[in-house]
């Protein structure tokens, strides 16, 4: 039994590429992070879903035909994931500082989509912003920008 466990961990450590999801795209990673904000308060309102759809089409250039499929897949990935590492890693690798700031601003807009920001949503955004290496001043600037508009 101990040998089987040892072999499993040796295989997992020796072949980390097999554990990665090859279907994870940058758009899906961003959508999943936005879904994390939407799910943070345990209430996904129709306004939040509409805001997510608009963000994906207008800001992430997802076609109107593909947006429903991407939303469903993003919600599924967010639900299944144990942590945010796979999404954050992909975004961090491909987005520069300005793009990560814009993503945090989208998170704040998502939180405001239902008319109020729940403390759980704010906590989730703060945590994701930290993982994305967005400075605290940019975190606040994104929050204020989302509140204004």
pLDDT means per 10 residues, the chain with 149 residues, are: 45 41 73 92 86 86 82 85 85 95 96 91 96 96 91
pTM for the model stands at: 0.79
Separation CA 139–CA 142 (nearest Å): 5
Q: What is the pLDDT of residues 29-58, one digit of tens each?
A: 999 999 999 988 888 888 888 998 898 888
Tell me, yes or no, whether 29 lies in a domain.
yes
Tell me, yes or no, whether 108 lies in a domain.
yes
Q: What is the pLDDT of residue 45?
A: 85
Tell me, yes or no, whether 57 lies in a domain.
yes
Tokens 């939040």 correspond to 48
Q: What is the pLDDT of residue 13?
A: 42
Pick from 55, 65, 42, 62: nearest CA to 104:
55
Domain count, the chain: 1
Tell me, yes or no, whether 75 lies in a domain.
yes
What residue numbers bound the domain in which 56 lies? 25-148
Tell me, yes or no, whether 128 lies in a domain.
yes
Tell me, yes or no, whether 4 lies in a domain.
no
Tell me, yes or no, whether 79 lies in a domain.
yes
The CATH number of whichever domain residue 41 belongs to comes to 1.10.3680.10
Q: What is the pLDDT of residue 69?
A: 87
């Amino acid at each position: 039994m101990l040998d089987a466990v040892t072999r499993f961990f040796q295989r997992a450590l020796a072949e980390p590429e097999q554990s990665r999801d090859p279907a994870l795209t940058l758009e899906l990673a961003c959508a999943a992070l936005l879904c994390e904000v939407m799910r943070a308060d345990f209430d996904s309102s129709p306004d939040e879903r509409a805001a997510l759809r608009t963000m994906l089409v207008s800001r992430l250039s997802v076609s109107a035909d593909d947006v429903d499929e991407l939303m469903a897949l993003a919600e599924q990935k967010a639900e299944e994931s144990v942590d945010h590492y796979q999404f954050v890693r992909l975004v961090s690798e491909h987005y520069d500082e300005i793009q990560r700031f814009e993503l945090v601003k989208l998170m704040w807009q998502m939180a405001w989509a239902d008319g109020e920001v729940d403390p759980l949503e704010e906590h989730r955004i703060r945590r994701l912003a930290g993982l994305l290496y967005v400075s605290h001043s940019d975190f606040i600037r994104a929050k204020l920008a989302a509140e204004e508009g």
